[in-house]
Each structure stands twice: as structure tokens, then as C-alpha cells.
Structure 1
Amino acid sequence: MTNSARRRFIGIVAATSALALAPGLLRRAQAAIVPTCWKGVALGADAELRLYHPDPRAAEQLIERALQELHRLEGLFSLYRDDSALSVLNRQGYLADPPSDLVRLLSESRHYADLTGGLFDPSVQPLWRVYADHFARAGASPAGPAQTDVAQALKHVSYKAIDVDTQRIRLQPGMALTLNGIAQGYITDRVTELLRNAGLERALVDMGEIRGLDASANAAGWKVGLADPLAPEQILAQVPVSNQALATSGGYGTPLDAAGQYTHLFDPRSGQARPLYRSVSVMASTATAADALSTAFSNMPLADCAAVVRDQGVTAWMVLPDGKLVTQSGLV
């Protein structure tokens, strides 16, 4: 299964009308702008852009520029393209003169790995191979791959063993990387920055994770629904997103086995593929942070999550195995 199911975790419910409530004809005119929209796919996941621009033609041109940036970054981070920089790195074990965005994202990955005690780790790709190969075999044991195979894969899982600088990226033999736990957020941020730098004041960007852009004061933004993991077609909670980003990780969106017991959310310490929560959502100032933290929190006890939440000033929603929703906030 591809990660396209991940987009069922969160969905845009509605745009608020806060601008219309503000005084002044200019704000009323801004609020009345009908968004120019695009829907498609980014890194195998559903994606969407909503640009609020008084000139639809100019908005379409900005969308074209945003899609060019999306496609450029997909050419770096995608595991589904054999010619991507990441795929070449995994195949060769090294990459000379690496693209600056790949160096930057791996540096960001190291930051979030350090921050979460290694629970965010882009080097878990060998674990995915072990589990995917096991469940692809006819008559595969529902108990998962042999522990000896998992232990062997774990020998090649260590974010600290990734050698990165502007001249070269080198992996240890047997290592392979995945950026699926952070790349959607990074692309969302890069597209948002492109639109802001072009002078756009209001937009909703969803390149796998959601980020709002609104230059107006006290903007209420958009209402975003968090899916109920026990009934994904239903909304468990609604949260407002304005000049923040929201990301969700949930194993039920990408099961590795027919029973849905094993997922892509690997614990880099044990090699297990059964996260602690049905889903984790994080709201942060950037989509990169929200994406990485939601991935890491999936295998982090609540008390440890709370410490990071407080330290980083983010908000997190964890859906426990029994369906109970726990909210943690580090905002003051």
C-alpha cells in the first residue's frame, strides 16, 4: 500500500470568515476572495492548494510555480522514483555534490532525532524491507518476521551513522534511508515560503501535511478535522489552523499486513512495527516539525511526549488504543 491513505487522517473542514468580521472595506474585500484551488498528488499522497488572490490568473501562475517546486523536491526525496537523489543514495551508498535541499533535510532529520532520543530516525528503511518482504510471501506468519531478521536489520539502523556535509553524503554498508516521516512537511514548508515570498498574503498549503498562511491580524484560518482511527470516515476532533502547520501519523493508514497489526511506524530501538497509538497529530510552527514529531511520538510514551511538547511549544493529540483522545499542549 502506498502512503496515499495517510491523507485520510486530516482533512480541511471549512474556511472561517474572520476577515469578514474585521472592520474596513479592504478586509471585507479580502475575505470575499474566492480561492483558486488545485488538487493532486505529492509524494504519493493527496495534496491540495488554496490560494486567495484577487487575480485568478496570477493565482494560477503561482500554483504553476508551486507545482514546479513540488516536482523538483519529489525528484530529490521520493522512494518511488529510481532516479531520485534519495534512491541513488540508497543504491550507491554515497552521493557526491548532494543537492542542498537533501543536505538540509538530513540536517533537520538529525535535529529531530536528537530531540526525540532517536525515535525519529530516517535510517529505518532496512526494517521496512524486512517486514515488506515477509508479508509479501505466500503463507507468511501473521506474527511477523523472525526476530533474527529484525535484529539483523537493526544493525543498519542508526541516524548517527549517516555522514552528511555539503560535499558528500555517505552511508554505512547495508544502510538505507527513508524521508517519508518528514519530507511531506518539508515540501509543505518550501511551497508556503515560495508563496509568501511572491507576496501572497493568504493560502492553505497541503503537500502531504497542512500549513496555513494568513498575513491578517487575529486570523482564525481554517478548520481541520482529525479523522477517527476507529472510523476514518468520521471526524474525531476539529482544530483551527491559521499560521501554523498540522501533521498526523497513524499506522492504520499504511498497514504492512492484511490484519493491520503491523505498520510503517517503526520503533528504531526495538525494530517493532506496532506503534503505541492509533494516531498522533501535532501542530507546530512549521510542517517539518509537525511531521517529524508526529512520527517520533508514535513510539514515545505519553510522559516523554509531554516533555518534548512543553520544550518545543507545540500541541499534540494522541488517540490511544481504546480510542480515547489525549491532548497535550506546550503553548503558553
Structure 2
Amino acid sequence: MTRLLSRRRVLAIGAAAAGLALLPNGARAAGAALRVWRGTALGASASITLHHPDSAEADRLIALCLDEIARLERVFSLYRADSALARLNRDGELRDPPADLVRLLSEAAMLSEQSDGAFDVTVQPLWQLHATHFGRPGADPAGPPPSAVTATLRLVGHRGLRIASDRVWFDRRGMAVTLNGIAQGCITDRVADLLRAHGMRNVLLDLGEVRALDRHPDGRPWSVGLERVGRPGSPSPALTIEDAAVATSAGYGTGFGPRGRFTHLFDPATGASPGHWRSVTVVAPTATTADALSTTLSVLPPARVAALLAATPQATAYLTRPDGTVVTAGG
């Protein structure tokens, strides 16, 4: 895979021009026992920060984390021809699917039902339609023809994806799945679970979504800064998290066409890219939940935000309007 979630990742850590960007600030050194790995994971800048008195053992655990990331990429990647997801999209069915894929697709299906279809992993044909349209020289900036959008919407619908322990398949030829709104969070959680199983506490993961285990080793919560629209580098509020996760979704991260009207975020009901929010940041108990909720809230009409968050009482959302003002909901 070249970029598992390249269409969705908002910003590299520390770089922000607009919206709410995640800036983990809690990884300051606390003596030699704080081990920080920085590199690339899931096709983007990443870091693993953990507190361990033995640097060699810390490095061994980090290597296990990287192996787990690579393993899960072979399941969830859109871009690796040999991944389980790529084979499902190519063949229309997958027999004896990996348990990781069945589990994540099942979680996605539950959120689809809970959000009345606003979260839908079968929107991949819409992305393909727009990528093909805008990839042509002289593409109409108004986007694909309405007839093409209508035809593509017939291939979208979470109930057309069938999930069983021994088989995953589509009801209609031409359907396809993207896990770009949930897989990065899932992988972050799996790495957190691995470290917890090895007795680790005081961990901060940034694998595109941020997940904290316990507190910073100096006893304070981990700190995640929020940088506001149009004011990069300016003083910003900070979220303090402990045993929690943070994820951001924003259309400005990846767009189609010169006008910024079309993004990688699609309303499964209309095929359009909603403009309700400039960005959505969610704090939740797990990175999977934060990731999926930030995606869902980005396309959900504002009037339905409170009801969805009420179903996840431990989640808080920070929603940036197009004018830069921020609304807080849930929690």
C-alpha cells in the first residue's frame, strides 16, 4: 500500500492552514525512560511514544507495533493488490475473509444503521467517479454529469454489503468498499491493545489518529492542541486526554477540481460533498470510534449531530463552521 488513508488524512502533524488540526504536544522528553519513535506508517508521518526504563525493550515493542501495522495494511489497504479489501473490491466477494476485516466491517455496519446511512463504507464508487472525472484534461469543473452521479449512487448502499464469518460479498456488481473513514482508527487501537497486553502504560500513539494510554509519565494528561482556521501557529486551546483518542476529518484535506467544491467526503444519499463543517474533531474512548464519528459528523446534517452523539455519551465533537467558529457537542 502506498497510502492507506491518503484521501482522508487531514494534515501532517504540526502543519495546519485551516480547520482544526491535531498537534500532539505531550511527547516532551521525561528522561531517558521516554522512548519516541518517529517515521512513516500508513503512508503518513507517525509517532509512537512510550515510557519504558529499558530502551532495548522499548525498541522491541515498537518493532512489534510496526509489524502489526504492516499486517493490518495487508487486510485493509485499498492500494495493495494482494490486500483482503482489494480482493473483495476486485472480485465482488471474499471467501474465508480475515477476522479483522469481518470485525471492522461489522462495526461499520452498526454505525451505518445508527446514523441512518450517513456513515457508509460503500461510497468508494463515488470517489472513483470523481477521481476519473477530474483526472481527465479539461474536466468540467462542475463535476461529473448528474446522470453519472445517479448511476453511481445505485452502487452505494451499506445494506448491499453482506458480511458473514466465512464470506463477504456485494449484492450488486460494481460495488466497492473504502475503509478510509475507520481503518486508521482501528489500526491505532490494535497497536494500543498490543502495547497494553505487554504491560505498557504511559503511551501516546499518532498513527493518523491519536490514542493515549493512561497519562504522561510525569503524571499530567497528554495534551493535544487545536489550531484554528486561518490562524496557523497562533495560540490555541488544548485538549487533555487520558485513555482516550482524538481524530479529525476535513474535506479540505483532499479535494477534486479547482473550486474545492468536491472532496473525498461524500453524502451517500446524494453523492454530493457536504459543506456543513470546515472540519470535525472528535474525542472518544477509542480511535476507531473517534475516526468513524468524525467522518460521519462531517456529512451528517447539523440538526442530526446531537442525536448521534447522544448514542455515544463519552464522545465530544468540536465542529468548525465554514466561517471558522467552533461548535462543541456531546460529552
Q: TM-score, normalised by structure 1?
A: 0.90
Note the 1:273-312 alignment, pairs <5 A: 273-312=273-312
Give the structure 1 partner of residue 317 of structure 2.
Answer: 316
Cα-to-partner distance string for 1:95-148 (whole Å, 9 max, x where unaligned): 110000000000010111111111110000000011111111111111111111
Give the structure 1 partner of residue 16 of structure 2.
Answer: none
Give the structure 2 partner of residue 244 of structure 1.
Answer: 244
Note the 1:59-208 alignment, pairs <5 A: 59-171=58-170, 172-208=172-208
Q: Which 5+ residue runs of structure 1 have no aligned equivalent?
A: 18-30
Larger fraction in helix: 1
Task: Quote the offset at 1:242 in angstroms.
Answer: 1.5
Task: Quote the offset at 1:258 in angstroms.
Answer: 3.1
CA RMSD, aligned part only?
2.2
Q: Helix, strand or coil: the match of 1:50? A: strand
Q: Which 5+ residue runs of structure 2 have no aligned equivalent?
A: 14-20
Taking the aligned partners of 1:158 and 1:236, their CA distance within structure 2 comes to 39
Higher relative contact order (CA 8 A, sep 6+): 2
CA distance 1:281–1:197, shift in 2 (3 Å): same
CA contact (8 A) 2:192 2:213 kept: yes
CA contact (8 A) 1:156 1:174 kept: yes
Q: Helix, strand or coil: the match of 1:191? A: helix
Give the structure 2 partner of residue 11 of structure 1.
Answer: 23
- Matched AA of 2:267: D
Task: Quote the offset at 1:6 in angstroms.
Answer: 3.6
Q: Helix, strand or coil: the match of 1:124? A: helix
Q: TM-score, normalised by structure 2?
A: 0.90
Percentage of pairs with the same residue: 45
Give the structure 1 partner of residue 18 of structure 2.
Answer: none
Q: Helix, strand or coil: the match of 1:127? A: helix
Taking the aligned partners of 1:235 and 1:160, their CA distance within structure 2 comes to 45
- Matched AA of 1:188: T
CA distance 1:232–1:272, shift in 2 (3 Å): farther
- Matched AA of 2:24: I
CA distance 1:220–1:147, shift in 2 (3 Å): farther
CA distance 1:295–1:201, shift in 2 (3 Å): same
Note the 1:40-59 alignment, pairs <5 A: 40-59=39-58
Give the structure 2 partner of residue 326 of structure 1.
Answer: 327
- Matched AA of 2:204: L
Task: Quote the offset at 1:75 in angstroms.
Answer: 0.7
Taking the aligned partners of 1:200 and 1:140, their CA distance within structure 2 comes to 52
Taking the aligned partners of 1:115 and 1:236, their CA distance within structure 2 comes to 33
Q: Helix, strand or coil: the match of 1:128? A: helix
CA distance 1:161–1:287, shift in 2 (3 Å): same
Taking the aligned partners of 1:231 and 1:189, their CA distance within structure 2 comes to 31
Taking the aligned partners of 1:310 and 1:70, their CA distance within structure 2 comes to 32
Task: Quote the offset at 1:218 in angstroms.
Answer: 11
CA distance 1:173–1:235, shift in 2 (3 Å): farther
Q: How many residues align?
A: 317
Task: Quote the offset at 1:250 in angstroms.
Answer: 0.4
CA contact (8 A) 2:184 2:288 kept: yes
Q: Helix, strand or coil: the match of 1:169? A: strand
- Matched AA of 1:317: Y
- Matched AA of 1:14: G
